[in-house]
Structure 1
Amino acid sequence: MACLKGGSTKTTTTNFLAFVRAIRRKRLSGKGLPVKVLDGDTVSQTTYRWLKKFRDAEARRAEARQEEPRVYPLDVERYPFEDLDEYIAELRADGYDVFADIGGGNVQLFHKALRQADRLIVPLSPSEFDFDRVDPTFSEAATVYDEHARGGFETYVLLSRVISEKQSRECREELGKLKFRGEPLVVLEAEVEQLIEYTRQLGKIPPNLDEYTSVWDEIMRREAQKRAALKAVV
């Protein structure tokens, strides 16, 4: 998850999609296979603070009730990473799903993460301030595409903090003018509304993952359709 701008909902998107994936892996396997979240924000490290706030609150709750504290479903690590691309490759080889929250101000980390990523998700609040950073984000992504460890990555734009259909429609029209490596940007049909509950989830395991489950399902559906189409051509 990346956008070369702060405050574009990267951290919320990273964590909510990681929660969705952690639940899915547990249901599919009958046990909790590892989901690793890397906080690559060199400034705020909100993803790591999310974990810390959860542990602190859970320790107080468990002590008051004389219970064992609940286990956080995500394995979180924070910057600095000496060789982020190599580290992601090692994690993948060990069976981890890896979600990387890349801060808006570190292009070098962005490049390293992309060299190992299956997909780049660019969360975008449909405002002019955020929109101005979409093209530079994909321009930087294009510079490392040919260096990818497995031949390239999928790209998606996710509209978040959506307050109206009109706002969404106008932003989609503007996004339709942009391209990545000569092809139109893929803008997900699923959107995340501007809900106050999202701003209150820091340090908690969210009780409602419906919107982000829809986002994840659409991504998986699009990629399955693409694989089927390529197989049919072969």
Structure 2
Amino acid sequence: MATGIVIVVGMLKGGSGKTTTAMFTGLTYAQRGRRVLLLDGDQTSQSAYDWSQLAAAAGEPLPFTVERYPFEDIAAHIDRARTEWDVVIVDAGGGSATYLEEAVSAADLLLIPTAPAAADTRRLAATLASATRGADRNSRGVSAVMVMVRADHRTGQPASWRDQLVADGHTLAATDIRDLVLYSDAYGHTPPHAGEYPALLAEVGLLDDEAEVPAR
């Protein structure tokens, strides 16, 4: 039986761009006809689920399914979901290292959104430690890629941030997610397009406009 791909979006810090990244990743695949399930694993705000409810109430429902997940047995839930959906995306929230570890143990890709800010740096080591523990238990093999979000290229900050992350030995996507109104104003709506996320997913080898994700 063919199975879908699983993308975990995780960073152990609130406000790091996880939900926006998860939602625009879902939009990228849904706009290409894939059946997408997004699991909101944020134990505090559940912003992805709230976003989906607001969009539906505004008469512009998202083109994919968002579920609140009750936070236990996430790895087993992912394994079941990937047999039913083309793409499973997990918004791993910001507060639980255990949840992130469990989700990564069943993932194909971990995207770590990080903004060019000192506060994100402080949580990066804990995020990578949790992800490593999950990867060590992942029998499928999982890759992890950092992606710079809220990158304002009118300043030199993104370039300096990139140089430092690369110097520290981190794997950082070449595709930056810029600081655009498209992303900041998207909450509660269905965006008209997926911005730079198709380029990001193509870069990491999980999107091809002719055959993006193997259909079941």
TM-score (structure 1 length as normaliser): 0.80
Distance 1:206 1:6, change over 3 A: same
Is 2:146 the counterpart of 1:157?
yes
The offset of 1:148, in angstroms, is: 0.6
Say whether the 8 Å CA contact 1:155–1:185 is kept in structure 2.
Answer: no
Q: What is the one-letter code of the residue matched to 2:62?
A: Y
The separation in 2 between residues aligned to 1:38 and 1:78, in whole angstroms, is: 6
Distance 2:20 2:46 in 1: 12
- Structure 2 residue 21 is the aligned partner of structure 1 residue 6: no
1:115 equivalent to 2:123? Answer no
SS in 2 for 1:19: helix
In structure 1, the residue matched to 2:67 is: 77
1:210 matched to 2:195? The reply is yes
Count of aligned pairs:
199
Larger Rg: 1
RCO higher in structure (CA 8 A, sep ≥6): 2
Return the letter of the residue paired with 1:9. G
- Which residue is equivalent to 1:23? 31
Contiguous gaps of at least 5 residues in structure 2? 1-8, 208-216
- SS for the counterpart of 1:16 is helix
Q: Which residue number corresponds to residue 225 of structure 1?
A: none
- Secondary structure, counterpart of 1:176 in structure 2: helix
Runs of 4+ in 1 over 3 A off after TM superposition: none
Give the gaps of 5 or more residues in structure 1: 27-32, 59-69, 179-183, 223-234
**What pairs up with 1:1-234 in 2 under 5 angstroms?**
1-24=9-32, 26=33, 33-58=34-59, 72-150=62-140, 152-164=141-153, 166-178=156-168, 184-220=169-205
Map Cα deviations across residues 175-233 of structure 1 (whole Å, 9 max, x no partner).
1243xxxxx321111111112331211121111323111111111179xxxxxxxxxxx
Distance 2:137 2:145 in 1: 19
Report the Cα distance in structure 2 between the residues aligned to 1:122 and 1:106, rounded to whole angstroms: 15
CA shift at 1:96, angstroms? 3.5
Residue 54 of structure 1: how far off its partner (Å): 0.9
What is the aligned-residue identity percentage?
A: 32
RMSD, aligned CA: 1.9
